[in-house]
């Protein structure tokens, strides 16, 4: 199976590639439209800011590539947020796969939301064999509110979307590549789609 990890103006590609290697799944890191279109699975990781990430994608017409893919695609953290309609981070228009707006946490809790937290109300194939209340690792200051496409939620000052799904696009706010065995199982589930 060919897995492509998107190279764009965001970090964390190496952690994702290493997590896949632990599952004996090689991956190619690429921003080549042909490689992305021909891959059987595409992962959009991300640690960074929405504006520069979207600028990189648009300059290379990768925004059009990502929205045209029909194979399973997994967005992680910033990779989830760029699939939304827009982000309050720099008032950035995003890819509009999910019609939600990404908002800054407005909570008495410390921001960024960083560390282990439980996810609940799990739905869909990404969470096969994952227990409700399983802990995963988060690092983010922006959140997606609960929405019709929410497939997992988390509580941090308020309830927010820990995962979204729309057709072939799967997205998680947490980092499965840093979430121990739970994260590894989520990655296995994605690879099995």
Which of the residues 77, 84, 94, 154 is marked catalytic?
77
Given the residues 85, 154, 175, 181, the one annotated as active site? 175
User: 144 near 78, Cβ under 8 Å?
Assistant: no
Strand order in the sheet with 98-104: 92-93, 84-87, 98-104, 142-143
Catalytically annotated residue among 100, 113, 140, 177: 177
Pairing mode of beta strands 73-76, 28-30: unpaired
103 labelled catalytic: no
**41-44/73-76 β-pairing:** parallel
Beta bridge partners of 83: none
Is 85 catalytic? The answer is no
Angstrom distance (rounded) from CA 145 to CA 142: 10
Whether 175 is catalytic? yes
**Catalytic annotation, residues:** 77, 175, 177
């Amino acid at each position: 199976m060919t897995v492509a990890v998107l190279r764009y103006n965001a970090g964390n590609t190496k952690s994702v590639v290493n997590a896949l290697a632990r599952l004996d799944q090689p991956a190619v890191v690429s921003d080549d439209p042909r490689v992305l279109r021909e891959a059987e699975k595409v992962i959009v990781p991300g640690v960074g800011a929405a504006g520069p990430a979207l600028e990189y994608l648009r300059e290379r017409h990768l925004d059009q590539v990502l929205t045209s893919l029909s194979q399973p695609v997994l967005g992680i953290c910033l990779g989830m947020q760029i699939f939304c309609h827009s982000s309050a981070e720099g008032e950035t228009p995003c890819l509009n796969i999910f019609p939600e707006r990404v908002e800054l946490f407005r909570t008495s809790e410390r921001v960024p939301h960083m560390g282990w937290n439980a996810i609940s109300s799990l739905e869909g194939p990404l969470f096969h064999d994952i227990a409700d209340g399983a802990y995963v690792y988060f690092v983010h200051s922006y959140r997606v509110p609960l929405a019709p496409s929410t497939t997992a939620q988390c509580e941090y000052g308020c309830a927010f979307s820990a995962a979204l799904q729309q057709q072939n696009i799967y997205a998680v706010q947490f980092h499965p590549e840093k979430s121990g065995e739970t994260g590894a199982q989520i990655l296995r589930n994605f690879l099995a789609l």
